[in-house]
Structure 1
Amino acid sequence: MNFVNSKSDIEELINNNKIVLLYFGSNNCNVCTAMKPKVKEILEEFPKIKSVQIDVEKSLEISASYEIFTIPAILIFIEGKEIIREARYISIQNLREKIDRYYNMIFD
């Protein structure tokens, strides 16, 4: 996952790809740093998903525009629309199942 600090870059990514995962976190958040490798594992399972990471401390305006009130937060956009939003206490298994369902509908 690459870091992005521009809302226009995020919007372009969302508009030009079928599935996009936004990961909001912070280096000062222990849960965020523990969650990040698990999210990367999911992204390896679903290689057609584009992803970016947003550091909430460096990108307050972006975080506010996506209404991020707690971290870690994962937003998944499918064909330009926010379909999945998970925050704070995230079940990786449930997230994987939700992604799998949409991924198979779109790419199979």
Structure 2
Amino acid sequence: MKKLQTIQEVLTFINESHLAFLYVSQEDCSVCHSLRPKLIELLKNYSKIELREVEAEKVKEISAEYLVFSAPTLLFFVDGKEYIREGKFVQFKKLTESIEQIYSFEESQML
């Protein structure tokens, strides 16, 4: 997973990607480290979703720009608009259902 290093990279990624998934983590966060591989594996099923990671302590502006106050935080954007926000204790079944619903709708719109 590519890491974004500046708030400008984050903004560009979200605004230029049709389906953008942002994983906000922290280096000293054990939950972040255990969640990361699960998220990567889940998103392998959705080839059109672009996934990027940003470390909150390195890109401090992420808190103000997207109201992220804890890690991990998962943000899913469609055409720059936030559709999913999950934090701390992520329920993967619920997350998968939400992604599937949005992804299926987006796929049907592209036909």
For normalisation by structure 1, the TM-score amounts to: 0.93
Q: Secondary structure at the match of 2:90?
A: coil
Question: In structure 2, what residue type is equivalent to 1:31?
Answer: V
Offset of 1:64 from its aligned partner? 2.8
**How far apart, CA to CA, are the structure 2 residues paired with 1:81 and 1:3?**
21
**How far apart, CA to CA, are the structure 2 residues paired with 1:61 and 1:80?**
17
Query: Where in structure 1 are there 5+ consecutive unaligned residues?
Result: none
| Residues 10-66 of structure 1: CA deviation (Å, up to 9, x unaligned) | 222222221100101112111000000010011111111011101111111123321
**How far apart, CA to CA, are the structure 1 residues paired with 2:59 and 2:15?**
20
Offset of 1:88 from its aligned partner? 0.9
Cα RMSD of the aligned pairs, angstroms, is 1.1
**Alignment partner, residue 31 of structure 2:** 31
**How far apart, CA to CA, are the structure 1 residues paired with 2:44 and 2:82?**
21
**How far apart, CA to CA, are the structure 2 residues paired with 1:14 and 1:26?**
20
**How far apart, CA to CA, are the structure 1 residues paired with 2:26 and 2:13?**
21
**How far apart, CA to CA, are the structure 1 residues paired with 2:14 and 2:69?**
21
**Alignment partner, residue 72 of structure 1:** 72
**Alignment partner, residue 98 of structure 1:** 98
**Alignment partner, residue 9 of structure 1:** 9
Which 4+ runs in 1 deviate beyond 3 A?
none
Offset of 1:79 from its aligned partner? 1.5
Query: Where in structure 2 are there 5+ consecutive unaligned residues?
Result: none
Number of residue pairs aligned between Structure 1 and Structure 2 = 108
**How far apart, CA to CA, are the structure 2 residues paired with 1:53 and 1:102?**
21
> Is the aligned partner of 1:88 residue 2:78?
no
Which moves more between the two structures, 12-21 or 98-107?
12-21
Q: Secondary structure at the match of 2:27?
A: coil
